[in-house]
Structure formats: C-alpha cells, structure tokens
Amino acid sequence: MSKFRSSWLVLLLAASPLVPLRAETASEKPSVDVRRVGAHIGCKCGCTDTVATCAMLECSFSKPAKERIAKLQAQGLTDKAIIDQFVADFGTSVYRGNPSAFGWIVPYVLVVPGLALILWFLRRYRKPRTIPEIGPEPDDPNLAGYHAQIEKNLAHLE
C-alpha cells in the first residue's frame, strides 16, 4: 500500500510544474508603462490614491482600469490619448497631473522653521536652574550641641 502512495506522490510532484497556479493579468502585475499612465489617473473606489498606487485588494476601479490601460497600450495609443479617454469617460476629476516644484520644495523649506522651533523650546525649558543660596547657619543652641556630639564621636573612632 505504501508503494502505491509513494508512486502517486511522485507522479503528483512531477506534474505540478506543468499546472500554473493562476494566471497573472495586467492588473495584478502591471508593467512600468501601465503604472506610468495609471499615476495620472485617480482611483474612484473612494481612496485618494492613483490607479497605479491603489492598495485596496480587488479594487473595483483600479483593477479594470489597469487592464484597460494595458489593452489600449497594446493597440498603440499614446499615454496622452489613454488619459484623455479616461477623462472623457469619468470627468476631469479623474486626472492627476505631475507634482509641481512647489510640492517638492515645501518639505525641505519647512525643516528650517522646525529646527528653529525645537532649538527655541530646548533653550527655554532646559535652562539650568540656579541653586538658591544657603545663608549662614542659624544660631540654634541645640544645633551647636549636635555638632559637639558629632565631633566627640568622630574623635573616638580614630
């Protein structure tokens, strides 16, 4: 019986590379060209991402859009023509332009005021505290007696 099982196992292992697990489509593994065009088309599933960056699994908009972009590119349409078709179908709100230089400069420019604010905060709240001056010892007769007792005890230790 074990000989029969092992032969089936060998046959199954030998045939497994012949059976693909599942086919990958343009939406599951988009090419660089599909992502380039998809970066200019906003996803309509409710997220704020583009078709190229939508992270929602089985998205109802980006998955078919990626497949459509791949088909249109296979037909030879330019990126501009594909984007124009999406704008014609879904309106101008679907178009995402390239980021401007303003969008790239602002984070770096805001570093300077941020560092200035941190330095101001550290200087204001991390100032070393001055130790209040301790005045001369009060003239307390009990205190003088304690000092005399301490000196007498220390003399016995030596």
Confidence bin at 24 (pLDDT 50/70/90): very low
Assigned CATH topology for domain 21-94: Helicase, Ruva Protein; domain 3 (1.10.8)
Q: Which tokens hold the place of 87? A: 């704008």
Q: Which long-range contacts (CB under 8 A, 24 or more apart) does 5-12 make?
A: none
Q: In angstroms, rounded to a whole number, what is the distance separating the alpha carbons of residues 146 and 15?
A: 98
Res 85: pLDDT:
93
pLDDT tens sequence across 80-124? 999 999 999 999 989 988 877 887 888 889 999 999 999 999 988
More confident position, 6 or 42: 42
Distance between the two ends of the chain, CA-based, in angstroms? 96
Q: Which residues pair with 42 in a beta bridge?
A: 50
Stretch 65-85: mean pLDDT? 92
More confident position, 27 or 16: 16
Res 158: pLDDT:
66
Q: In angstroms, rounded to a whole number, what is the distance separating the alpha carbons of residues 34 and 14?
A: 36
Q: Which tokens hold the place of 142? A: 């009990």
Confidence bin at 21 (pLDDT 50/70/90): very low
Is pLDDT above 90 for 46?
Answer: no
More confident position, 117 or 30: 117
**Which residue in 34, 108, 114, 17 sits closest to 68, CA to CA?**
34
Stretch 45-57: mean pLDDT? 86
Average pLDDT, the chain: 81
Q: In angstroms, rounded to a whole number, what is the distance separating the alpha carbons of residues 156 and 158?
A: 6
